[in-house]
Each structure stands twice: as C-alpha cells, then as structure tokens.
A = this chain, B = another copy of it.
Amino acid sequence: MSEMNGARALVRTLVDSKVDVCFSNPGTSEMHFVAALDDVPEMRGVLALFEGVATGAADGFARMADRPAATLLHLGPGLGNGLANLHNARKGNVPVVNIVGDHATYHTRYDAQLQSDIVSVASNVSSWIRTSQKPGDTGRDAAEAVAAAIGPPGQVATLILPADACWLEGGVVAAPIAPKAPADVAGDTIDEIAKILQSGEPAGLLLGGSNLRKPALMEAARVCEKSGALFLSETFPTRLERGPGLPEPARLPYLAEFAMAQLDGLKHLILVGTKSPVSFFAYPNKPSDLVPEGCTVHTLATISDDGVTALANLADALGAPREVKGLQAAARPGRPTGGLTADAVAQAVGALLPEGAVVCDEANTSGLTIPAHTAGSAPHDWLCLTGGAIGIGPALATGAAIACPDRKVVSLEADGSALYTIQALWTQAREGLDVKTIIFNNRSYSILNMELDRVGAGAGGPKAKQMLDLSGPDMDFVAIANGFGVPASRAESADDIANQLERALAEPGPALIEAIVDPMF
C-alpha cells in the first residue's frame, strides 16, 4: 500500500462505509481532512456557514437517504454550534457521524485558545465518542463510528480527530462493518399483544421511528382495522410517509390536554418503536405522564426492533385480512382566496404539493392546519422537529435535498425558528438545491405567548411581551434570502401565496416565499 496520511485513510474508509457526503465548516485543525477530499473523489464536501446548518443537514440527509452523512466541525466551539441540531438527531434516532477536529495530541497540554473539553460537549448528544490517537487508528475508528451511528437504533457518533493523527503518514483504510439487523420480536410478545387486542378492551397502537413508513403503516393499519385499536403516531415523526394510498395514523397532539383527551378511556397502549407519551413541558398541576390512569403500556417493538415484521406477525395472529380499507383518498383543497392567513398558506401547500415532495415541517403554531390540507395531496414524506430544539428547518431541508436530488423539498418554517440556521439558504443556493421555503412571518414567538399563560405566568407585562415579539423592526425575509443568493418573494394575499408557490415549484433551485400572517396566539 502506498503512503497515506490519517486523514486520507479516514475519508477513504468513510466512503467505503457508504458515508459519502460531509457537511463541513472546517478550520485550521481540519485542513488535512479538507485536502483529502481531493484524494477521494467519491466524497462530496458541502460547505455550511454555520455548524448548526451542517448538523441539521446531516440529519435531513440521513432521514431521506437511510444512511448517515458526516459532519466536519472545528474543535469544541464548532461542536457547540452544531449541538442543538445534534440534539434533535439524537431524539429522532437519526444516524450522524461527527468528525470533530482537535489540536495535535501534543499541543493539547498547552491550553491554546481553542483548547476545551470536547468530550464533555459531545457526551450531551453522542452515544459513541472516540478520539483517534494516531494515523493508524483513523480508518478503524471511522468504520466503527459509522457502525455505531447506524445502530440500530440510529444515533450520533462523534469521532474526535487530532490534527497530527490526520497529517502523519501511516493511515490504514478499514473495511466497512456490516450493519446490524434490527432485532426480531419474540413470538410470545406478539401472542401476548394479540390476546390483549382480542380482549375487547379499548386499546391504542402508537407508532414511531421507522414504523411510520409504508411497510409498517400498512401492517399497523391491518392490526387496527381488525382489532379496533386506535391508530396513532408519535407527535413529531422523524419521517412519516403520507398521502393517497397510505393509511394515516392520528398524530398525538403537542398540547398535553389534547393528547390526554385522545388517549382517554384506553385500557392498553401498545408501543411500536416509540416511547410512552409524556408532556413536552411540565405545567403546574398537570401530569407529565400522558398515559391515562388504568391504562397499561405494552411494548410490541422497541426502536431497535424489527417493527414491520412484528406488526405483520401481529396482524396475521389476529387473522387480519391482507387488504387495508382505510387508505387516504386522493383529494386536494382548492386554491385559497382572500386575505392571507396561516390556514390559507396551508391550503395553498395542499393544493400544489408535488408528488414525492419532502416536507420539512417547522411551521410550529402557524402550521396547525397543514397536515389536514395535505393528507390527500400526493404521496410525500413529512419530517418533523424531533427534539424540540427549534432552528432545524432550513438545515434539514438542505440535507434532504442533497439526499433526494430528484424530489422537491418544501420547507415550512416559522419566522422565529428560521433565524437560528438561516445561513442554510446560502448552501441551498451554492448547491442549487430544489428547496422551496415558506416563512410564516407572524413577527412573534407565537407559541410562547400561548405558553406564558399555560405555565401560569399570566398574560405577561410589557417587558415580558417584548421578549416574545419579533416586530420592531419587522424582519424582511425577502431581503435576507436575496442576501444569501436565494430568489424570494413576499406573499400578502391568498392569491399571492398560491401563485408564488406555483411559480417556485415550476422552476429548479431554491426559492423562498415570505408569507405575512397573523399569529395564531
């Protein structure tokens, strides 16, 4: 084998392990990794202007490509900037391989400006952390990082890469590690749950993780149609396949009181690749646990199990027919007319959503009616904010578009959330990504106006209100988008939004529409 430094061995190993996109915001300590991009032509480097864009894009990529991307981050502060979206990936069980450059091993003890405890930051989000101590380790460590990220379940793996482990010769390319298959669910478990569903007691089937895609949804619908169990989805799906020809589970509402109403009266809640439902936040004198009293929680499949086969076996055990009756029919809302409201935007999206679209949904309070308006539009994928750390949308859309060059990405974005990773627009422009962003600009952290009251802090005085208000000055997202190289327009009527969305969808490349709407709260 010819001479090879640690960086090149690492990049080559990543590519051999099918990690061939790297969302990057490099610094000096990552220069050998960057240089290696030219030695390994299969690796695609995608530059982000901010690390939260890189990590959120890696999340969006993995959700749609079913394999992890890498990120390239600059020491502890770079990882810190990427942390919020890694938190979201962790909560969504999405595989991500972080490469965090570090000082050369011998330089650490000098406590130079960028020295910090990277492991402590990484531990907040990573199920797997390792530091490559020498060039001979980078290949092996990269292969193991990829395997750890893939799981199951998918998780965040962080490989810390000292500069000298990169630049020294002695790199060794490692063979890819065969991914582990999800675990089989025992026949006893299936029989036990079949008995519960046959008992006639009210039950619900709550799906999450990869069980919100067509194969699992079809089997789960068989189970629910045969048994009468409620067909439920977790509140914020990592990836939900929707549209005509698919059965659609009811999503558990974000607001605890509505979720409790939905679960009220159940005697059994059966989990498939998700956790028992809890309140997003705590509220004074309200329970954190959303499971009704007297309801028993059962697990058919954990996030690491083969939920599809378990559901199929359960359906068969119940004697459910192969055919599913409750499939979503094709049906689009008409184009909206009149004044512009969040609902009119939702209607326009429903009227125009293209087949195979990937919808990134961080519309928050403005997005309440979008699921209803899009249910019958055309088959599409729906990606949610899985970990509650707002600011993933523009980044998520960027990664999804890299993963799916032949599909259109529709990014539904709240104004407040958009501002955390707005720099993603530039990457969309540079890479020519087919992302259509709609900013719901209600000039407010609208959800906090609602939450202020819900947590018992009252209506809020003028100073409190100012902390939730995004006017004064009003932001101009058309100008901001143009500044990042993305064509943009402003919609102020229902006709505007429909016409502008239609035009944007007809052309390739990124576009942004700023929809001026009133806050819902």
Contact = CB atoms under 8 A, between A and B. Distances in A.
Contact of A45 (B45, B120, B416, B467): B467
A239 interface: no
B387 A448 contact: no
Interface string A37-59: 11100000101011010000000
B483 A476 contact: yes
Interface stretch (A188-196, A219-227, A275-283, A374-382): A275-283
Nearest to A123: B120
A484 interface: yes
A461 to B, nearest CB: 3
Contact of A81 (B34, B52, B76, B475): B52
A104 interface: yes
B112 A455 contact: no
Contacts of A34: 448, 452, 457, 460, 464, 467-468
Given A83-B83, A106-B282, A455-B167, A50 B113 contact: no
A80 B83 contact: yes
Q: Bin chain A's interface residue count.
A: 35 or more
Given A84-B77, A452-B34, A455-B32, A114 B483 contact: no
Contacts of A35: 452, 457-458, 460-461, 464
Contacts of A482: 476, 479
A350 to B, nearest CB: 27
Interface in A462-489: 462-464, 466-470, 472-485
B279 A107 contact: yes
Nearest to A481: B483
A456 interface: yes
A512 B391 CA distance: 26
A98 interface: no
Interface of A: 24, 26-29, 31-32, 34-35, 37-39, 45, 47, 49-50, 52, 76-78, 80-81, 83-84, 87-88, 90-91, 103-104, 106-107, 110-114, 116-118, 120-121, 123-125, 163-164, 167, 236, 275, 278-282, 284, 288-289, 386-391, 416, 419-420, 422-423, 426, 429-430, 447-448, 451-452, 454-458, 460-464, 466-470, 472-485
26 contacts: A27-B448, A28-B447, A28-B448, A38-B462, A45-B466, A49-B420, A50-B391, A76-B87, A76-B124, A77-B389, A81-B391, A83-B121, A87-B116, A103-B282, A107-B281, A113-B280, A113-B387, A120-B123, A163-B281, A422-B422, A426-B473, A476-B483, A479-B479, A479-B480, A480-B483, A480-B484
Top 3 nearest A-B pairs (CB, nearest first) are A38-B461, A80-B83, A473-B485
